[in-house]
Homo-oligomer: A and B are copies of this chain.
Amino acid sequence: MKNLWITEESKDFRYGYRVNKSLFSGQSDFQKVDVVETAGLGKMLFNDNLAMVSEKDEFVYHDMIAHVPLFTHPNPKKVLVIGGGDGGSLREVLRHKSVEKCVMVEIDKMVVDACREHIPQTAIALDDQRAELIIDDGIKYAKETSEKFDLILVDSTDPIGPATPLFNVDFYKDLHRILNDDGIVVSQCENPYFELEMQKKLLSIKNEVFPKVFIYNYANLTYPGGFWSFSMASKGPNPIEDFDAQRVLDSGLEFQYYNQHLHSAAFALPSFQRKSYENLVQNP
């Protein structure tokens, strides 16, 4: 067996994946982009050497960013994905029949092209008739567009690379403006064990702009620590009180991770999280 590894390394931790072969490596205007075929998790996308997607567990992240708000909003027709260049979030959004249009605004064309060629598992829905792909800065798009949406998914990397401006109150004011009544925005919200302060900052920003803010958790294999969060800000619908489990069953959709039991359970936070977010979230 060849002894090739790709390693995500931070100050105190290393996460290594055995590599069968490298499929793509490039440097865009925004970041380093790599696609490798690993022995344990199938093909993986790395941005700036941080694991973004693996074929084996991408269903977790994409189920949870998409279906939790889609089954919270009473009738989601127009959806905006900011970031999400691999296409997985768009793919899950378009499984919902109520969705008439999904706009995806990704800043880095190289990520989209690399995933189209090498990870069709996530990129498969990019050519759907209801999908509109815009290669542009999500901040600029949110500031300038005259379109309105029922749901916005901020499918971003960590606040250290090109995604840094997405963790900003002006951006969320723009999202509030382009959301219809009953609109919901869900954002990638880091790891509660390592990044509580970052989480609290994002929750504070959302509280400045939206009347209802929640956080919910999921567990996957490829993000350091395994246990990560999404934050949800809503103009109206409450993801726990207004959730109708029967709607999930009636949809006829089958998911690898999401289900009607897990929907509510994801909002039940470990005690250290509940304590840290006091007054910042409306979780039970």
Contact = CB atoms under 8 A, between A and B. Distances in A.
Interface of A: 5, 7, 9, 11-18, 38-41, 56-57, 60, 193, 217, 219-221, 225-227, 254-259, 261-262, 264-266, 268-272, 274, 284
A264 B261 CA distance: 10
B15 A15 contact: yes
B261 A269 contact: yes
A251 to B, nearest CB: 13
A57 B5 CA distance: 27
Given A12-B39, A221-B226, A257 B284 contact: no
Contacts of A270: 60, 256-259, 262
A262 B269 contact: yes
Contact of A11 (B11, B18, B265): B18
A151 to B, nearest CB: 22
Contacts of A193: 56-57, 221
Contacts of A38: 12
Given A219-B227, A261-B268, 18 more contacts: A12-B17, A12-B40, A13-B15, A13-B16, A13-B18, A16-B16, A219-B219, A219-B226, A226-B226, A256-B271, A257-B270, A257-B272, A258-B271, A261-B284, A262-B269, A264-B268, A265-B265, A265-B268
Contacts of A271: 254-259, 262
A103 to B, nearest CB: 28
A41 B11 CA distance: 12
Contacts of A9: 16
Given A262-B268, A270-B256, A17 B7 contact: no
The 8 closest A-B pairs by CB, nearest first: A226-B226, A12-B40, A14-B16, A265-B268, A219-B227, A265-B265, A261-B268, A12-B39
In this complex, the member of A17, A264, A270, A271 whose beta carbon has the largest number of chain B beta carbons within 10 angstroms is: A270
A225 B17 CA distance: 12
A5 B217 CA distance: 30
A227 B262 CA distance: 14
A9 B56 CA distance: 19
8 contacts: A11-B39, A16-B16, A193-B221, A219-B219, A256-B270, A257-B272, A258-B271, A262-B270
B217 A225 contact: no
A57 B57 CA distance: 23
Contacts of A226: 219-221, 225-227
A12 B1 CA distance: 11
Nearest to A39: B12
Given A57-B193, A256-B272, A261-B268, A40 B13 contact: yes
